[in-house]
Each structure stands twice: as C-alpha cells, then as structure tokens.
C-alpha cells in the first residue's frame, strides 16, 4: 500500500479485506456459522471503509531560499529552490520574516541551501 504521511489507499485496503474474506484455507477449516460471522464482519469493515470520509492529502514539496543578491541598505532578493520564483525581503532573511513557505508554489522551506 502506498503511504503518504500516514494515509493509505482506500481501494488497496478494500482489496486486501476482500482477499482476507475470501481466503479459502480459512473457510475450509471452519464451521458454517464461523465462516458466516467472519464474512459478515469483514463486509461490515468494507462498508465502513467505503463510507469513511476521505482526507485531502498531498505530498509535501520541500525547498530552501537561495540568496540572489544583497543591497544592505534596502532589501535582498531570494529565490525558491522548488519553483524558481523571486521574492524581495526588507533587510531580514525570509525565515526571520516568518516566510516558511513559498507564496508561489507552497513549498515548505525547511532545507538548508545547497552550496
């Protein structure tokens, strides 16, 4: 199953439950009532998974701010490593200004600049 930050695919979970429900080795060794309870129980799980609300999950893009030039009197220009957009900041660095995400692409700026 593909996991994104703790999320799993609904389809893959349902497919795994169906395989578990229809597994022949288990069914051959049990009484009818036990097989029926197991089948009904797994069917209830499948219905619960189908009806559970989905989360809006997106993979996080990570990047860093690249210092393009500094004019110590006024401002400095920084570039997003993920999308290449430029951003101007007054004297302080983007992190000191509280800019932890690129306003253009949404990349999380938590990496250190590659030299």
In a domain, residue 94? The reply is yes
Among candidates 112, 13, 105, which has minimal Cα distance to 59?
105
Are residues 63 and 88 in contact, defined by beta-carbon separation less than 8 angstroms? Answer: no
4: confidence class by pLDDT, cuts 50, 70, 90: low
Q: Are residues 102 and 68 in the same domain?
A: yes
pLDDT at 104 over 50: yes
For 76, the domain range is: 62-109
Q: Are residues 68 and 96 in the same domain?
A: yes
- Residues 6+ positions from 63 with CB-CB distance below 8 Å: 80, 81, 82, 83, 102, 107, 108, 109, 111
In a domain, residue 18? The reply is yes
Q: What is the pLDDT of residues 74-88, one digit of tens each?
A: 567 889 999 999 888
Q: What is the pLDDT of residues 38-64, one digit of tens each?
A: 888 889 999 999 988 877 767 788 999
């Amino acid at each position: 199953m593909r996991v994104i930050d703790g999320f799993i695919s609904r389809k893959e979970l349902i497919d795994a439950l169906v395989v578990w429900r229809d597994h022949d080795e288990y069914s051959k060794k049990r009484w009818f009532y036990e097989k029926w309870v197991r089948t009904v129980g797994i069917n209830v799980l499948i219905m619960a998974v189908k009806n559970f609300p989905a989360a809006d999950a997106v993979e996080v893009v990570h990047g860093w701010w690249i210092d393009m030039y500094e004019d110590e009197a006024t401002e400095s220009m920084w570039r997003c490593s993920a999308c290449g957009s430029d951003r101007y900041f007054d004297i302080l660095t983007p992190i000191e200004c509280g800019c932890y995400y690129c306003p253009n692409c949404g990349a999380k700026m938590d990496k250190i600049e590659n030299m």
